[in-house]
């Protein structure tokens, strides 16, 4: 099978030559793994910023504070989920992320980590989409607060028209009023909340394990020639049925 993204035929060799090539690649993979470990250590060593703003969110049981999103845990991961006021459905790329994150809650909790999704849309617009997608996560609304703006994942039409919105620690043109991200918080025993880390752009691939698996196969992500990289994505209930094998 020839990968679509390559104009060359795959090189077919003996098992011995394949093993030689594989061991060479393994050495490079181990270098990357060790580099990743060092980066993770540096990430954990970042200084913290105390969250002074008393953010509250709309939840099914009423208003909740940022501190209450922790539950009994001392660490919190928030997915900034792109679902703006009046949208018919959530962003398909954020949904792709949530498909991966949804099952991790029980494992994160075992390591003292809570998970929540936050969207700019009113709660009444979030809950039907959450039900449709079948996700069992704590999903709250930041509508009417500055949370999304303060974490640079929501922009006004005027800001977009002017160009150069603040995203991913720089200024860039952005095509929509909502943007994706992941933010991490910690809470001390006194109840103080701290912002410890945020990541945007390709930094979000940490949550997209399907991409890691696609990177293993001959065709890779197979996104060359598409208008944009994730054009192929669909909400998980919108893929066309696979063709019958025969």
78: domain CATH number? 3.40.30.10
* CB contact set of 225 (below 8 Å; sequence gap of 6+): none
- CA 94/CA 80 separation, integer angstroms: 8
pLDDT in tens, the chain (246 residues): 455 554 578 899 999 999 999 999 999 999 999 999 999 999 999 999 999 999 999 999 999 999 999 999 999 999 999 999 999 999 999 999 999 999 999 999 999 999 999 999 999 999 999 999 999 999 999 999 999 999 999 999 999 999 899 999 999 999 999 999 999 999 999 999 999 999 999 999 999 999 999 999 999 999 999 999 899 999 999 998 754 433
Q: 54: which DSSP letter?
A: -
Is residue 175 exposed (0-12), middle (13-18) or buried (19+ Cβ within 10 Å)? exposed
Whole-prediction pTM:
0.92
Residue 127 lies in a domain: yes
Residue 44 lies in a domain: no
> Tokens standing for 171?
């200024």
> Beta partners for 235?
none
Q: How many domains would you assign to the chain?
A: 1
Range of the domain at 99: 49-207
Residue 37 lies in a domain: no
Residue 212 lies in a domain: no
Residue 118 lies in a domain: yes
């Amino acid at each position: 099978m020839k990968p679509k993204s390559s104009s060359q035929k795959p090189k077919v060799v003996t098992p011995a030559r394949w093993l030689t090539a594989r061991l060479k690649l393994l050495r490079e993979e181990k270098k990357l793994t060790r580099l990743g470990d060092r980066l993770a250590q540096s990430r954990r060593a970042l200084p913290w910023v105390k969250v002074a703003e008393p953010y509250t969110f709309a939840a099914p049981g009423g208003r909740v504070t940022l501190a209450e999103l922790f539950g009994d845990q001392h660490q919190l991961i928030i997915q900034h989920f792109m679902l703006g006021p009046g949208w018919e459905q959530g962003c398909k790329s954020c949904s792709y992320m949530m498909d991966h994150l949804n099952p991790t809650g029980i494992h994160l909790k075992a390591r003292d980590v809570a998970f929540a999704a936050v969207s700019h849309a009113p709660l009444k617009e979030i809950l039907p989409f959450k039900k449709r997608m079948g996700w069992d996560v704590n999903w709250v609304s930041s509508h009417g607060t500055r949370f999304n703006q303060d974490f640079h994942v929501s922009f006004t039409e005027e800001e977009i028209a002017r160009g150069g919105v603040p995203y991913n620690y720089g200024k860039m043109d952005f095509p929509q009023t909502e943007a994706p991200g992941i933010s991490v918080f910690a809470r001390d025993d006194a109840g103080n909340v701290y912002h410890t880390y945020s990541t945007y752009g390709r930094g979000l691939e940490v949550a997209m394990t399907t991409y890691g698996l696609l990177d293993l196969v001959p065709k890779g992500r197979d996104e060359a020639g598409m208008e944009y990289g994730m054009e192929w994505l669909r909400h998980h209930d919108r893929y066309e049925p696979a063709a019958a094998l025969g």
